[in-house]
Structure formats: C-alpha cells, structure tokens
Amino acid sequence: VLDFSDPFSTEVKPRILLMGLRRSGKSSIQKVVFHKMSPNETLFLESTNKICREDVSNSSFVNFQIWDFPGQIDFFDPTFDYEMIFRGTGALIFVIDSQDDYMEALARLHLTVTRAYKVNPEINFEIFIHKVDGLSDDHKIETQRDIHQRANDDLADAGLEKIHLSFYLTSIYDHSIFEAFSKVVQKLIPQLPTLENLLNIFISNSGIEKAFLFDVVSKIYIATDSTPVDMQTYELCCDMIDVVIDISCIYGLKDDGTGTPYDKESMAIIKLNNTTVLYLKEVTKFLALVCFVREESFERKGLIDYNFHCFRKAIQEVFEVRMKVVRSRKHQSHLQKAKRPTPNGTPRMPL
C-alpha cells in the first residue's frame, strides 16, 4: 500500500491534492475527468465527508495519485500531520466556485498555499476558477482578474511574491476541465521536454499543422508540439477519440465479446469541410497521436506513416527508460525498508 510517508510512492506516482470549500465541485471534476461520468449525473453526488484517494495509472506517463479533501475538514488541526501531506505532493489544485462569494475561499487558499509552501516549495499551485459555464464571457474575465489580483496581493502582503499561482477557467460542461487537468499533469511528467521535441521533429518532417499525444482513457493530452493550443482544435480531438472508442467498442470486439477495442491496429481518418484532415493513430495501449493535416499534405500519407513509425519507436524507448528508472527506485526502496530496524530495535533479517 502506497501512503503519505512512502518516498518511493510519491516519486514514481506524484500526488495531486484536490482542495477547496464544500460544494465547490471537487468530486464532480474527478468523476467527469477520470470516471467518464456525465456532467448532469454529478448533480446527484453526495458531499464528500472523508479523504478519498485514487490511483490513476492509465499509462506510464499518466501515473499519479489524486487525494480529494472534504471542504469541511480542517487539516491544520493539531491532530492532522499536514507536513507529511504536503511533503510528497507534486501539485495542489484549489477549486473556487466562481458563482459564489469567493472571499472565504480566497482566505482558505492563502492559508493553504502559505503552509504548503513552507513544507514543500516545489509544489505546483493550480487554481481552478470553476463553474464558469453560468457566467458571461465578460464576467468570466472580470472574475478571473479579480481572483488573480486578490490572491497575489495576499501573498505579496505576506512577503511571498515568489510563490507562483496558475489560474484556469473551468467547467465540467465543456472541455475546459480536461485542458486544465492536461496542463497540471504535464508539469508532473519529467519526460515532457523529450516528448515535445519528438512531436516537433515529427510534424516538421511530415507537413503536419498540429499534433497531440493523448491519454485515451481520460482525454488528457500529455504533450503537444510547440505551436499554440487552440481550444476548438482540442475539442475536435476529444470528440474524435470518443467516436473512435465508441465505434471500436461496438465493432472492434470479437463475437464472444473478448478482445480489446483499442489496439495497435486502431486508426481513424476524418475529413473536415475546411480542407483539414484529422488523423488518429495508436501509439501504445493507452496513448494515441491525433494530428491536424491539410488535405494536400495528407496526400503524402506514406511519408507521414513512415515518420509515425519512427516516432512510435522513439516513444517506446522513452517508456523503457522510464520503466528501468521505476524498477531501480522500487528496488532501492525495498532495500531501505529492509535496513530499517524492527519495532523492538533489532535489525531486519533478509529472508
């Protein structure tokens, strides 16, 4: 069992904390992103009354723990070891309900961030300004600016200007929550520069406009090339993945219902009415490459497929290096545990 105090678990599986006041939407975010729950179904979720931990292990890259903290729990209570909680945390997501009076939320945010930073200055602080689907575009921008200003002013007053907060406008009723989680997860992937570099090489040699490396299960993109991300482009990619998985589940299984709907043969081509082609190819069991290609460039599909073959081979090599590191650290962790004395003070004897 991986726990707060296990250094190996937090190194191999970075911990993401979900915090915020009650009814801010923390559990709904988790259910929609990682359990494919319909946003409308989240209306019937009961309020979380205990800490919930979930391991997300869809692939070697999307591999982390999420800890959902109830809004009513005072984890700064003397009986709570908040230092141990924050010590191994990779990212802290604080959810603020944009449709509510957020003064209390900002006060809790400031207290949480300042305590966490003292324990672990390496934490990424991510602020989700949530439930923005109920706000007009002007109101969204005004709310984000106000929360951004107040939160940073509070830190400046405390002499903590060096703490960096990242802000995202999110809603479970569109793809903004998936894009925000993508940005959070990318910061926890040590191989991200390598993946981005591979994607840049791939698109420049293939005449591709834009490429995403997606985790198929959660629709989080774990890497993209260096060109800017357009929200509509991202939404089209998510819709394409949904179509491919849904059709594969209907027609991709064997007659007896066995087999996997998504495998190394999985591939899809969708031609849009603006002379753009969407091209999806399976990279690994859990990863897909989704590309935007102009029709004239797609005529050289053989070149794209050859470059994709080289790209997939490089990704597999990155995976293999990652797995060697994981196995090495796991072995070191077991050795360290074996050296620890037993409760009565005698050293542990190897079996």
- pLDDT > 90: what percent of the chain? 47
Q: Let me know if 300 is exposed, middle or buried by CB neighbors in 10 A (0-12, 13-18, 19+).
A: middle
Please indicate whether residue 91 or residue 218 has the higher confidence score (pLDDT).
Answer: 91
Is a pLDDT exceeding 50 seen at residue 8? no
User: Average pLDDT of 306-316?
Assistant: 93
Please give the full DSSP string across 193-211, using - where no structure is assigned. Answer: HHHHHHHHHHHHHHTEEEE
Q: What is the distance between the alpha carbons of residues 168 and 180, in angstroms, rounded to a whole number? A: 6
Q: Tokens 């753009």 map to which residue?
A: 276
Helix spans in the chain (H): 7-12, 26-35, 82-87, 103-119, 137-157, 176-186, 192-206, 231-251, 295-298, 301-339
Question: Taking Cα atoms as reference points, which of 121, 52, 130, 38 lies closest to residue 87?
Answer: 121
Domains of the chain plus CATH, in order, are 15-188 (3.40.50.300), 191-324 (3.30.450.190)
- Cα angle value 307/268/311 (rounded, 5°): 20
Q: What is the distance between the alpha carbons of residues 108 and 24, in angstroms, rounded to a whole number? A: 13
Is a pLDDT exceeding 80 seen at residue 280? yes
Q: What is the distance between the alpha carbons of residues 28 and 54, in angstroms, rounded to a whole number? A: 14
Is a pLDDT exceeding 90 seen at residue 52? no
Residue 138: its pLDDT value, please? 93
For 206, the token pair is: 């293939």
**Beta bridge pairs of residue 287:** 215
The answer to whether residues 240 and 290 touch, using CB atoms and an 8 Å cutoff, is yes
How distant, in Å, are the alpha carbons of 32, 181, 302 from that of 219? Answer: 11, 10, 27
Residue 204: its pLDDT value, please? 94
Residue 164: its pLDDT value, please? 95
CA torsion angle 148 149 152 155 (round to 10): -130
Note the pLDDT tens digit of each residue in 97-107: 999 899 999 99
Residue 281: its pLDDT value, please? 93
User: Average pLDDT of 149-178?
Assistant: 93
How distant, in Å, are the alpha carbons of 172, 217, 242, 267, 320 from that of 254? Answer: 34, 21, 20, 18, 31
Note the pLDDT tens digit of each residue in 206-246: 999 999 999 888 888 999 999 998 888 999 999 999 888 88
Q: What is the distance between the alpha carbons of residues 226 and 43, in angstroms, rounded to a whole number? A: 38
The answer to whether residues 282 and 266 touch, using CB atoms and an 8 Å cutoff, is yes
Please indicate whether residue 268 or residue 326 has the higher confidence score (pLDDT).
Answer: 268
How distant, in Å, are the alpha carbons of 21, 251, 319, 320, 327 from that of 323? Answer: 38, 33, 6, 5, 6
Is a pLDDT exceeding 90 seen at residue 45? no
For 96, the token pair is: 């603020």
Residue 42 is given by DSSP the state G
pLDDT confidence bin for 340, thresholds 50/70/90? low
Please give the full DSSP string across 102-159, using - where no structure is assigned. Answer: -HHHHHHHHHHHHHHHHH-TT-EEEEEEE-GGGS-HHHHHHHHHHHHHHHHHHHHHTT
The answer to whether residues 350 and 334 touch, using CB atoms and an 8 Å cutoff, is no
pLDDT confidence bin for 18, thresholds 50/70/90? very high
**Average pLDDT score, the chain:** 84
pLDDT confidence bin for 309, thresholds 50/70/90? very high
Q: Comparing 10-24, 131-145, 286-300, which segment has the lowest mean pLDDT?
A: 10-24
